[in-house]
Amino acid sequence: MTKAPQPGQVKTRLVPPLTANEAATLNKCFLADTAASISNVCSRQLHRSHGEATISALGIAVYTPIGAELDYNKILSPDFALLPQRGENFGERLYFATVDLFRCGFESVCLIDSDSPTVPAENFAQAVKLLRRPGDRIVLGPCDDGGYYLIGIKKPHQEIFERIDWSTERVLAQTKQRARELGLEVKLLPGGYDVDDEASLRRLRGELLGRDAPAHIAPKTREFLRKLTAQRKL
């Protein structure tokens, strides 16, 4: 789930300490790193299904606004597809994204945010594995702020996205409650965190620029933060 990385339109809660242009560049790095992790998982699935007639997994950027398609040319890898968002509020956009993706023929769908660049590809691979098991369920990747960085579903359950206080610490708990009301099993992935304010930006900087930071986690974000830190103190 993405918003075109245009200055003044994304990561506005990071302005300040960043400028609007820096926030947009950081968002591009988030998108590129997350997309790379997704492509990593998809390539594994394609390798395992070599010789089959159908694609096992595919990365798709569900984007807004319409008309911003060219903004993604240098961000996403060539194996990614684009799908426009539709709907008024955030819950509708998530639900309609699942509807449109299931119409494309997928047996299950993971909606992933573009604010959590340090979530490793292994978490996405685990979500795919859980969704391939028999029986209906949802998979959630919890965030520290009470939301989630991923929701995986096997059917387009509209109720999962209704009566949710979006952008609050109640999102994860309310989503789990909706699942219980539907009689759905809930599987949780390892936790992550969103980067959407100055405190979480400091956390990200400390994590990626620390001595023990894994080199394969969010490399483009790491490089941008390194250059930014060299230019001025965050």
Angle (CA) 125-129-130 rounded to 5° is: 120
Question: Which residues contact residue 123 at a Cβ distance below 8 angstroms, ignoring those fewer than 6 apart?
Answer: 141, 150, 189, 190, 192
Report the DSSP pairing between strands 60-63 and 109-112: unpaired
- Percent of all residues in the chain with a pLDDT value above 70, rounded to a whole number: 94
Write down the pLDDT at residue 53: 42
Q: Mean pLDDT across the stretch 171-196?
A: 97
pTM over 0.85: yes
Write down the pLDDT at residue 4: 97
Write down the pLDDT at residue 211: 84
Q: How confident is the model at residue 77 (pLDDT cuts 50, 70, 90)?
A: confident
Q: How many CB atoms lie within 10 A of CB 159?
A: 12
Residue 6: pLDDT over 70: yes
Q: Mean pLDDT across the stretch 1-8?
A: 96
For 86-134, what is each residue's pLDDT tens digit?
999 999 999 999 999 999 999 999 999 999 999 999 999 999 999 999 9
Write down the pLDDT at residue 234: 57
Class of domain 12-195+215-222: alpha beta
